Structure formats: structure tokens, C-alpha cells
Amino acid sequence: MDTLMEKRQILEDWYQRVWVEGDLDAIDEMFSPDTQAAGLLPEMQMGPDEFRELVPMFLAMVENPTVSLDKVMEDGDWASALYSMRVTDASSGKPVIGTGQLFARFNGDKIAETYNSFDFMSFFEQVGLLPEQSLALCLTGQRIG
């Protein structure tokens, strides 16, 4: 198996086990103990302990999550991915699609460092926690809430 497939498979396993199945033990199996993930929450890096708190909070809001790695590129110890997550809003039953990007450094078969971006604004609009067109409202200088 070539290096790209190995890294892609690790990322696919990460999203399937952690974000789809809610397998919190997979965090320690797939992350190096000192792994820090930047970008998911503003001005906060997340380690394994923070993921064990974040994942159940997220999964409590949704049903039937699936994740697709739409594009994956690899360079040495690094891999980047564009991904999409499809879920059902647990409160309304409506389908929701979220998109994100991940830039990860690997140490062997473990994720050692990540930089993340997820379109939480669109996601929270779709689940009804933000008004529709929140970004457009903000760009016009209007306050939300």
C-alpha cells in the first residue's frame, strides 16, 4: 500500500471511528499523546482530552453522520483533505451538510499535528441555531441575536 493510501486510510478511519461511531478510545489510538489540533475552536488548540468532550457534544445534535474525504493530497509526513459531513439534525430531522479542510502531520501511523477548518456558521444555520444568511448579515454590519 502506498503512502498516500495509508494516510488517507488513517484519515478515513479517524472520521469513521471518532466522528461517525463516537468511538472515543480511537482518539488515543490514532493521536500521538501530545497531538494538538488547531482551528476547530478560535484561539484554542485541542488535544485528546478536548476531543473526548467535543465529539459527544457534536454527536448529540445529529443523527446518521457520514463523512466523505472528497480530495486528499500528501507530501512526506503531511496530508491534507477536503471533506464533507452529512448528518440529520436530531431536533428537526432535516438533512445537513457541512464542509471542512484538514491539514495533518503524521508520525508513523499516528496523527501528530493538525490544522482544521470547518464551516460551523453554515452548519449552525442549517440546524437552526443561527439565522439564515448569518454571514451576509454580519457583512452588512448587522448584529446577530
Instruction: Express each pLDDT in 73-119 by its tens digit.
Output: 999 999 999 999 999 999 999 999 999 999 999 999 999 999 999 99
Considering the domain boundaries, does residue 112 fall inside one?
yes
**Alpha carbon distance 60, 62 (integer Å):** 6
Q: What pLDDT score was predicted for residue 40?
A: 81
Q: Residue 75 is part of which domain span?
A: 3-139
DSSP SS3 for 33: strand
Going by the DSSP 8-state scheme, the letter that residue 114 receives in this structure is: E
Cα dist. 122→56, 107, 118 in Å? 20, 33, 9
Considering the domain boundaries, does residue 104 fall inside one?
yes
Going edge to edge, which strands form the sheet with 44-46?
44-46, 31-41, 110-118, 95-107, 78-89, 62-75
Cell of 103: 491539514
Helix residue ranges per DSSP H, 62-140:
120-126, 134-139
> What's the mean pLDDT when you consider all of the chain?
92
Going by the DSSP 8-state scheme, the letter that residue 129 receives in this structure is: S
Give yes or no for residue 1 having a pLDDT over 60: no
Question: For the chain, how many structural domains are there in total?
Answer: 1
Considering the domain boundaries, does residue 15 fall inside one?
yes
CATH of residue 12? 3.10.450.50
Considering the domain boundaries, does residue 145 fall inside one?
no
Considering the domain boundaries, does residue 85 fall inside one?
yes
Considering the domain boundaries, does residue 144 fall inside one?
no
Considering the domain boundaries, does residue 96 fall inside one?
yes
Model-wide pTM > 0.85: yes
Considering the domain boundaries, does residue 86 fall inside one?
yes
Give the tens place of pLDDT for each residue, 54-65. 999 999 999 999
Q: What pLDDT score was predicted for residue 36?
A: 87
